[in-house]
Amino acid sequence: FERIGKLGGGTYGDVFCVRHRLTGEVFALKQIRDDNEVNGIPATAMREAAILKQLNHQNIIKLYDV
């Protein structure tokens, strides 16, 4: 991915606008801080990913990969 710019940030990490180098498709990439991790992955990130994988709605961002 090619980083285009920072979209925002918060307590748990930062969100960047990125472009896939091969397809040119644009994504939001969330980079999570590792301050509160358990076994290498923050518990909040695990919960968020599990919920986003189940959702399919036009107003909620689609999770492509973890």
Q: Which residues participate in the annotated binding site for ATP? A: 30
- Residue ranges of the annotated binding site are 30
Enumerate the β-bridge partners of residue 64: none
Q: How far is Cα 36 from Cα 52, in angstroms, rounded to an integer?
A: 20
Residue 5 near residue 17, CB atoms below 8 Å: yes
